[in-house]
Structure 1
Amino acid sequence: MPTYQYKNLETGELYEIKQSMTEAPLTAHPETGAPIKRILSRPGIAFKGSGFYVTDSRPAETSKASGE
């Protein structure tokens, strides 16, 4: 189950709540009843650098224009 980040609209406090992807976003905190809104956040993983694409793992082709 994914974890979504919610913000309390009154206090600005952030919460992490586990929810199914098919569930509608919550509008009230399940324990306190305070109004909340789901916010977007960065994913927990980022692919940087070489090695993540098909072209990165292939050796460089040598030129055959030298007449051999």
Structure 2
Amino acid sequence: MPTYAYACTACDHRFDAVQKFSDDALTLCPECGGALRKQYGSVGVTFNGSGFYRTDSRGGTGTKPADSASSKADSSTSASPAPAKAPASS
């Protein structure tokens, strides 16, 4: 639940209130009964850590590129033609 800051327009009493989004804004000061005004400030978001990486937002476990030596071996065995058959004699 968000925390809202309020200030009284009559006595300048300031306080924070934890409210649901669906709750109505407070209107009466708890100290003097005067009118309250909601205070708006900067957003308190900080990004800590070593940084963000390109793969952070991607799904899955990630794939490593195939090793060039193993891909050469795979391509040479799959691309070799079948041995020629000797012609049948009758």
TM-score, normalised with respect to structure 1: 0.57
Amino acid at match of 1:21: F
Report percent identity of matched pairs: 29
CA RMSD, Structure 1 to Structure 2 (Å): 2.4
In structure 1, runs of 5+ residues without a counterpart are: 59-68
Structure number with higher relative contact order (C-alpha < 8 Å, ≥ 6 residues apart): 1
- Give the Cα separation in 2 of the matches to 1:34 and 1:27: 8
Higher helix share: 2
Aligned residues: 53
Q: Which residue of 2 aligns with 1:42?
A: 42
In structure 2, runs of 5+ residues without a counterpart are: 55-90
Q: Which runs of 4+ in 1 moved over 4 A?
A: none
Question: Which structure: larger Rg?
Answer: 2
Q: Which residue of 2 aligns with 1:27?
A: 27
